Amino acid sequence: MLPPVRHIIHADLDAFYAAVEQLDNPELRGLPVLVGGRPEGRGVVATASYEARRFGVHSAMPMATAVRQCPDGIIVRPRFDRYREMSGLVMDIFRDVTEVIQPVSLDEAYLDVTEAAANRSPIAIAIDIKERVSAETGLTVSVGLGSGKTVAKIASDLQKPDGLVVVPTGQEADFLAPLAVGKLVGVGPKSAARLHDEGVDTIGQLATMPEAWFARHFGKRGDSIRDRARGIDHDPVQTSREAKSISAETTFAEDLPGNSEDERAELRAIVERLSGRVARSLPGKGLVGRTVTVKLRLSDFTTFTRQTTLPSPTDDEAAIVATAWMLLERELAPDRAFRLLGVGVSGFTQKEGPDETPEPVVAQQRLIL
């Protein structure tokens, strides 16, 4: 029996951080806005307004490069508390439509509106979402609507900003066929380059390749990539808040460098405190983890993570502290100061009993403040 037809929306706020800055400061409207760190501090672009994108500026670009390409760009430091506030307002609008929501980040989410579509056209639902977001927040959101998450996400990106693209049920493969293979979820830039070398440039060409070919090129992901290329996607919208790590983080009142012995000792103490919180939460859940991650935000708001995988799963506080400190110590430099530090553990298995074999689990991602 075929599964019932689903109606999935992917909603993606347009140039979110920059749009919030332009909303709050009318003097920035219509101007090229670059949200991120200063160019002299090795900052990067978090988001660029569409006025700046016309100059080829994009997210994750070094700010120095962005300024060269867009010399009239106005650099604005990120205000993440404000972005979280605005994101919450938008997510509340989504929840008025359906409880089946999977937030992906502050500015995008999947919505399963199948149940709501029993009484209303799914297109009408999508239009209503766009209108409410605009009226109630002043932001614009691009929406893709289809039978699965793959086509919905790709569709939401095709007519930005303020787009609405609908992929009718049964036309998923036709919709995907002419698109560049790199647009398919799971095909990154390196994979796309390899496929291009083999003459596979579009999703439609990818879909025609035999099953064994996918196994050779993508390994265990072969079957799922092949299905997505053919427009087949039954992946559910994950309403569970569970993810794959347990973490703790803190933001400092003042930026903290690690140049002197006292500063390094202070950073070490923070690592110990955060690692302890994470470690103490594991036994109660019966979990041990193999991967330790540190999250760092510099004084210019550049944010990145470093991680390593241990030889065996652990919930030992000392091991987590030692590993997290090793990762942080490698990032200390005379020109760096930190404004946020986080420690996380992932790669979980259930802790073994006397006669048990550990099995992989998916555990709740918890931000322990």
Please name which of 140, 165, 132 lies closest in space to residue 9, comparing C-alpha atoms: 165
280 shares its domain with 364: yes
Please name which of 127, 105, 119, 225 lies closest in space to residue 176, comparing C-alpha atoms: 225
Range in 2-16, 109-123, 332-346, 348-362 with the lowest mean pLDDT: 348-362
Q: How confident is the model at residue 231 (pLDDT cuts 50, 70, 90)?
A: very high
Please name which of 79, 65, 122, 131 lies closest in space to residue 98, comparing C-alpha atoms: 122
Please tell me the predicted confidence (pLDDT) of residue 367: 35
311 in a domain, yes or no?
yes
- The average pLDDT across 327-334 equals 92
Higher pLDDT, 4 or 272: 272
Which amino acid is present at 231?
Answer: G
pLDDT at 355 over 70: no
Residues 6+ apart with CB under 8 A from 68: none
* 313 φψ region: left (φ > 0), alpha (ψ -120 to 50), beta (else): beta
- The average pLDDT across 124-153 equals 97
65 in a domain, yes or no?
no
Rounded to whole angstroms, how far apart are CA atoms 208 and 210? 6
Q: How confident is the model at residue 302 (pLDDT cuts 50, 70, 90)?
A: confident
Q: How confident is the model at residue 241 (pLDDT cuts 50, 70, 90)?
A: low
52 in a domain, yes or no?
no
Please tell me the predicted confidence (pLDDT) of residue 354: 38
Q: How confident is the model at residue 363 (pLDDT cuts 50, 70, 90)?
A: very low
Task: Tell me: cis bond preceding 358? Omega within 30 of 0 counts.
Answer: no
364 shares its domain with 252: yes
13 in a domain, yes or no?
no
Rounded to whole angstroms, how far apart are CA atoms 227 and 186? 12
Rounded to whole angstroms, how far apart are CA atoms 178 and 102? 28
Query: To the nearest whole number, what is the mean pLDDT of the chain?
Result: 89
- The average pLDDT across 325-353 equals 86
Scanning the structure block, which residue is given the tokens 């614009």? 140
Please tell me the predicted confidence (pLDDT) of residue 360: 40
Task: Identify the domain boundary among 229, 264, 295.
Answer: 229
Above pLDDT 90, what percent of the chain? 64
Rounded to whole angstroms, how far apart are CA atoms 209 and 216? 11
Rounded to whole angstroms, how far apart are CA atoms 12 and 19? 12
120 in a domain, yes or no?
no
42, 302 in Cβ contact below 8 A?
A: yes
Please name which of 270, 248, 272 lies closest in space to residue 258, comparing C-alpha atoms: 270
pTM as predicted: 0.69
Q: What tens digit of pLDDT does each residue of 288-301 get?
A: 899 999 999 998 88
Q: What is the DSSP string of 184-227?
A: STT--HHHHHHHHHTT--BHHHHHTS-HHHHHHHHGGGHHHHHH
**H or E, element range at 34:** strand 33-36
pLDDT at 206 over 60: yes
Please name which of 108, 110, 50, 106 lies closest in space to residue 78, comparing C-alpha atoms: 106
pLDDT at 365 over 80: no
Paired sense of beta strands 108-112 and 8-13, if any: antiparallel
193 shares its domain with 264: no
Rounded to whole angstroms, how far apart are CA atoms 138 and 136? 6
350 in a domain, yes or no?
yes
Rounded to whole angstroms, how far apart are CA atoms 168 and 29? 36
Q: How confident is the model at residue 226 (pLDDT cuts 50, 70, 90)?
A: very high
Tokens for 361, please give them. 């689990």
Scanning the structure block, which residue is given the tokens 């977001």? 133
251 shares its domain with 225: no
Which residues span the domain enclosing 335? Answer: 245-368
Sign of CA dihedral 277, 278, 280, 285: positive
Please tell me the predicted confidence (pLDDT) of residue 42: 66
Q: What angle do CA 141, 147, 153 make, to 5 degrees?
A: 35
Catalytic-role residue among 21, 108, 249, 272: 108
Q: What is the DSSP string of 333-357?
A: -TT-EEEEEEEEEEEEEEPP-TT--
CATH number of the domain where residue 202 is located: 1.10.150.20
Tokens for 250, please give them. 């803190």
83 in a domain, yes or no?
no
Please tell me the predicted confidence (pLDDT) of residue 240: 62
Rounded to whole angstroms, how far apart are CA atoms 279 and 324? 12
Q: Backbone phi, then psi, for 179, in 5-degree steps?
A: -80, 150
CATH number of the domain where residue 309 is located: 3.30.1490.100
165, 158 in Cβ contact below 8 A?
A: yes
Domain count, the chain: 2
Above pLDDT 70, what percent of the chain? 92
330 shares its domain with 284: yes
pLDDT at 99 over 90: yes
Q: What tens digit of pLDDT does each residue of 243-269 get?
A: 478 899 988 878 899 888 888 999 999
225 shares its domain with 316: no
236 in a domain, yes or no?
no
30, 295 in Cβ contact below 8 A?
A: no
254 shares its domain with 363: yes
Q: How far is CA 307 from CA 188, 255, 267, 336, 358, in A?
A: 21, 22, 17, 19, 22
296 shares its domain with 189: no
129, 113 in Cβ contact below 8 A?
A: no
Please tell me the predicted confidence (pLDDT) of residue 203: 96
Known catalytic membership, residue 85: no
